[in-house]
Structure formats: structure tokens, C-alpha cells
């Protein structure tokens, strides 16, 4: 953090002494006012529910310019990474700060593939769930349970433990997601096959059966890999902040990532891809494109409680760059599968067109986000709707780990402990039961 020459002065209208606050500059993006000494010097807290104006940490990993619609991983634009790199290269970049050279890439790939199997005991743990359990309920349990199996990687303060936990989590997430799926449909688990790519292996574990050979389609493999890249990290969003806060207590990495999975599940966050696809299917049942106007009226009616899922973002006040790339992938996948006339894709395009021209959306700067098209791609690939958010969790795991490890390695790291403005009852006496 570079100190700025400019200082902020906080003054009070009641004559209390004013306070000078240091300002720090980042490489790009807004400066921050350092309020750490505020409570000590003034006895006051800042108040910012939802963190609208609060930087919770400093980070070198991901940068978003919400007004421009720009997303950078370690300085590289997402558009370039999506076209020139694969997911494991992106993982290496997020974890280590630089893209790998050819040797580093193959070493990293070998390390990850070496850890793709999960302890056989996990199968029996999985059996405790109902077959119709939501995959995110199962994933929260399975990821948390990893800490019961890999005792040699649970010390968050040991850099070697953190490193091996990172590799294990990246390697095992596809295996766990595929196991959760196979369990739901009552098919045998398919073990990883390490001569396949990361996404090719995942597709095989999902869709192969022991009765016949499964051939990975290169177009689908590439599309899935792109979904993984686009979801790999996104700065201090709700689940990442959850992972940081959870990890700040010194808990083990598997437990911290399980907390991230639980947070991601919500429909305002990762659950939006599932909610968006369900929304498109509901409109389709109502009459499809012809009913878009009627649906939009409901969205704009504040009393209806209906939102256009896959639209809007706390940070992006412009087109989410991931949504553009996802739309491209969506077209490619539908073409490959002969589904170019897919009614849900047509419906999504119609909704997007209307929303981008409508005053309600224009005034609020609401644009499609990554979840608007990702559901259509995943559904076309054959991934069941309730599994969408688990795929997001799989892809985001690397971001969560990179952010967690960055926090632990930061000399300024402390347990996260927000304060509050207390507005409840002040000190009062308990009355005996008969007098209450």
C-alpha cells in the first residue's frame, strides 16, 4: 500500500477534536481512507452494512472496474485469459501471481491430477444423504468433511499444509461434484482418469457409465473450461469474504472453503444461475417470447418481489465482461449440439434486448451478469439445473484458496471481528416469572 500525500480530516460539529486519517493508493482503483485508529482516538465506529464503501483488505489477485466492465486476474484481462489459457493455467496464475511457463504448467498439471481421487471412505459419508438432497447441501458437507480425511493439510499457519490443501481442493472438487451427481441419479461413481484434461475428466466422471466408453467432445470440453475460467475469482464478493472471515479464526482450509460453498448457494450470489434458468423455464411455460413484456412489468413492479435473475451486480454498472464471453460460448455449444433454435436461448436474447433498452434497467445500470447465459450452456451440456451452483463452487475454489492464502500470509492479518451500532434494550433487570 502506497501512502498518499493527501490526508483526510474528520471533523465533528460538536467541537470534539478533529482527526487526520491517512489515505493509501492502490495500483488502480479507488484510494482508501485508513480508519483503523478511529475507534481508539474518537470512540466511534464507522457504519457500512453491506460494505458499500468498505475495502476489507488489500489484495493483488483480482481487479474489477465496474464502470468500464473490466475484470483482471493478476493484471490480465479476462477476455485474453479465456481465449489464450486453460483453467489450470488460470489456477496457477491466481495462486502464484504469474502465468506458468511450459515446464511449470506440466508440473502443476501433474500435481493436480495426482490428487484427483478422494478417500474411498467419502463414498460412505455421501450415502448418509437423501438421494434428492440439493447438491449444494451435499457439497457443503463433503468439502467440510475433507478436513476429517486429510489431517496432514489442516494447519492454516503452515505454508506447506496450505499448499497441499490448495492442490487437493482444486483436484478433488470435480470428483466430489460428479459423485454428488451420480449419487442423485443412482449411477455408479466413475473414478478420475488422469490422462484427460481437467474439464474432460470432469465431463467423463459426470456422464460416463461403466457399460460403455465415453468420448469427450472438444467443443464441450473447451466450453466447460471457459465456464471454470470465468468463475475462478471475483475479488471480495460475499463467498470470498466469508472464506476470509472464516479462515481468519485459524480454522483449517477445508472448513473455510466449506463456508464459502455455503455462502455461494444463495440466489443473490452463485445460486443465481439456477434461479435464472428456472425463471426462463417459467416464462417459457407462460408462453415464451410473447410473454416477455408481461414478465418485465412484474420485474419493474416493486411490490411483486420478482427480479430479473442474471441481471444487475453490486460492482458492475456496465456489461459484465464474463456475460459477453458466456454468450459467445453459449452460441458455440448450442451450434455444436444442433440446438441453435433453443427456445430458452431465444428467450434470454429477447429479455436482454428489452432490458438494455428499458428505462428501469438503463437508469439503474442493470446489465446481464455471468449467470444470465451460463445456465443455458450448462443445461445444453446436460448438467441438471440444481447442479449449476456446485459447478460454480468447483470453479471458484481456486479463487477462495488464493484469497485465503493471501490473507494468512499478510503480516497485517488479524481475526475479522466487525463491530455494531447497538439499538436494542439497554441494561435492565430480569423480573421473576410471575411478574412478566
β-pair partners for 70:
65
Active site residue 371: yes
Total chain residues near ligand CMC (CB under 6 A): 19
For 348, counting Cβ atoms within 10 Å of its Cβ (0-12 exposed, 13-18 middle, 19+ buried), the class is buried
β-pair partners for 10:
19
CA 346, CA 91: separation in Å to the nearest integer?
A: 33
If binding is defined by CB under 6 A, does position 310 make contact with ligand CMC? yes
If binding is defined by CB under 6 A, does position 260 make contact with ligand CMC? no
C-alpha cell at 117: 481421487
Question: Half-sphere exposure (CA, 13 Å, Cβ side) for 99?
Answer: 14
Residue of 115, 225, 313, 320 marked catalytic = 313
If binding is defined by CB under 6 A, does position 309 make contact with ligand CMC? yes
Alpha carbon of residue 80 to chain centroid: 20
* Closer residue to ligand CMC, CB minimum distance, 22 or 267: 267
* Closer residue to ligand CMC, CB minimum distance, 112 or 347: 347
Min dist. Cβ of residue 112 to ligand CMC (A): 25
Interface region with ligand CMC, contact rule CB under 6 A, candidates 54-62, 308-316, 342-350, 419-427: 308-316
If binding is defined by CB under 6 A, does position 317 make contact with ligand CMC? no
* Closer residue to ligand CMC, CB minimum distance, 142 or 366: 366
* Closer residue to ligand CMC, CB minimum distance, 312 or 386: 312
* Closer residue to ligand CMC, CB minimum distance, 291 or 314: 314
Q: Which of 381, 395, 390 is nearest to 183 (CA)?
A: 390
Interface region with ligand CMC, contact rule CB under 6 A, candidates 74-82, 111-119, 312-320, 399-407: 312-320
Question: DSSP class of residue 73?
Answer: E
If binding is defined by CB under 6 A, does position 362 make contact with ligand CMC? no
- Name residues contacting ligand CMC, limited to 365-394 (CB under 6 A): 366, 369-371
Interface region with ligand CMC, contact rule CB under 6 A, candidates 7-15, 99-107, 250-258, 363-371: 363-371
**Which of 3, 364, 409, 418 touches ligand CMC by CB under 6 A?**
364
Q: Which residues contact 371 (CB under 8 A, 6 or more apart)?
A: 272, 273, 276, 309, 310
**Which of 141, 200, 312, 321 touches ligand CMC by CB under 6 A?**
312
- Name residues contacting ligand CMC, limited to 273-302 (CB under 6 A): 299
* Closer residue to ligand CMC, CB minimum distance, 237 or 241: 237
Tell me the residue nearest to ligand CMC as measured from the CB. Answer: 312
Q: What is the DSSP string of 389-420?
A: HHHHHHHHHHHHHHHHHHHHH-TT--------
C-alpha cell at 434: 410471575
If binding is defined by CB under 6 A, does position 314 make contact with ligand CMC? yes
CA 147, CA 384: separation in Å to the nearest integer?
A: 28
C-beta atoms surrounding 249 within 10 Å? 12
- Under 8 Å between Cβ of 209 and 187: yes
If binding is defined by CB under 6 A, does position 311 make contact with ligand CMC? yes
Interface region with ligand CMC, contact rule CB under 6 A, candidates 12-20, 311-319, 406-414, 428-436: 311-319
- Under 8 Å between Cβ of 218 and 332: no
CA 109, CA 102: separation in Å to the nearest integer?
A: 11
**Which of 313, 374, 387, 406 touches ligand CMC by CB under 6 A?**
313
Contacts 24+ apart (CB under 8 A), 103-107: none
- Cross-sheet strand order for the sheet of 2-10: 2-10, 19-25, 32-33
Interface region with ligand CMC, contact rule CB under 6 A, candidates 12-20, 103-111, 189-197, 264-272: 264-272
User: What is the chain's alpha carbon radius of gyration, rounded to the nearest angstrom?
Assistant: 24
CA 44, CA 14: separation in Å to the nearest integer?
A: 14
Residue of 225, 233, 320, 371 marked catalytic = 371
* Closer residue to ligand CMC, CB minimum distance, 163 or 328: 328
Catalytic residues: 313, 371
Instruction: By CB under 6 A, name the binding residues for ligand CMC.
Output: 237, 268-270, 272, 299, 307-314, 364, 366, 369-371
Amino acid at each position: 500500500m502506497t501512502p498518499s500525500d493527501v490526508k483526510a480530516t474528520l471533523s465533528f460539529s460538536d467541537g470534539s477534536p478533529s482527526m487526520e486519517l491517512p489515505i493509501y493508493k492502490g495500483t488502480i482503483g479507488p484510494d482508501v481512507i485508513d480508519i483503523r485508529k478511529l475507534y481508539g482516538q474518537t470512540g466511534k465506529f464507522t457504519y457500512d452494512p453491506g460494505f458499500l464503501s468498505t475495502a476489507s483488505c488489500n489484495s493483488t489477485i483480482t481487479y474489477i472496474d465496474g464502470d468500464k466492465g473490466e475484470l483482471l486476474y493478476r493484471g490480465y484481462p479476462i477476455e485474453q485469459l479465456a481465449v489464450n489459457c486453460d483453467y489450470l493455467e488460470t489456477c496457477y496464475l491466481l495462486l502464484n501471481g504469474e502465468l506458468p511457463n511450459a515446464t511449470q504448467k506440466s508440473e502443476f498439471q501433474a500435481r493436480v491430477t495426482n490428487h484427483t481421487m478422494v478417500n474411498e471412505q467419502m463414498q460412505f459419508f455421501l450415502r448418509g444423504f437423501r438421494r434428492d438432497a440439493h447438491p449444494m447441501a451435499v457439497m457443503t458437507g463433503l468439502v467440510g468433511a475433507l478436513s476429517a480425511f486429510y489431517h496432514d493439510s489442516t494447519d492454516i499457519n503452515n505454508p506447506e499444509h496450505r499448499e497441499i490443501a490448495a492442490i487437493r481442493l482444486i483436484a478433488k472438487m470435480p470428483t466430489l461434484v460428479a459423485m454428488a451427481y451420480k449419487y442423485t441419479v443412482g449411477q455408479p461413481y466413475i473414478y478420475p482418469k488422469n490422462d484427460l484434461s481437467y474439464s474432460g475428466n470432469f465431463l467423463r466422471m459426470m456422464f460416463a457409465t461403466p457399460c460403455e466408453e465415453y468420448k469427450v467432445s472438444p467443443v464441450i470440453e473447451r466450453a466447460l473450461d471457459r465456464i471454470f475460467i470465468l468463475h475462478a475469482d471475483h475479488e471480495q464478493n460475499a463467498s470470498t469474504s466469508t472464506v476470509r472471515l472464516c479462515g481468519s479464526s485459524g480454522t483449517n482450509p477445508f472448513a473455510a472453503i466449506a463456508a464459502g460453498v455455503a455462502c455461494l448457494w444463495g440466489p443473490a450470489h452463485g445460486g443465481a444461475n439456477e434461479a435464472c434458468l428456472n425463471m426462463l423455464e417459467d416464462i417459457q411455460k407462460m408462453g415464451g417470447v410473447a410473454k416477455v413484456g408481461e414478465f418485465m412489468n412484474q420485474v419493474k413492479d416493486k411490490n411483486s418481489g420478482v427480479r430479473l435473475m442474471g441481471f444487475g451486480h453490486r460492482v458492475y454498472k456496465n456489461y459484465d465482461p464474463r456475460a459477453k464471453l458466456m454468450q459467445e460460448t453459449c452460441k458455440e455449444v448450442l451450434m455444436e449440439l444442433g440446438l441453435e433454435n433453443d427456445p430458452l436461448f431465444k428467450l434470454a436474447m429477447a429479455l436482454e434486448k428489452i432490458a438494455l433498452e428499458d428505462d428501469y434497467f438503463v437508469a439503474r445500470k442493470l446489465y446481464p451478469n455471468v449467470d444470465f447465459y451460463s445456465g443455458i450452456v450448462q443445461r445444453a451440456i446436460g448438467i441438471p439445473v440444481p447442479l449449476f451452483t456446485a459447478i460454480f463452487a468447483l470453479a471458484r475454489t481456486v479463487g477462495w484458496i488464493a484469497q485465503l492464502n493471501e490473507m494468512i500470509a499478510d503480516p497485517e492479518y488479524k481475526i475479522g471481528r466487525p463491530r455494531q451500532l447497538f439499538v436494542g434494550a439497554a441494561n435492565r433487570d430480569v423480573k421473576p416469572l410471575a411478574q412478566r
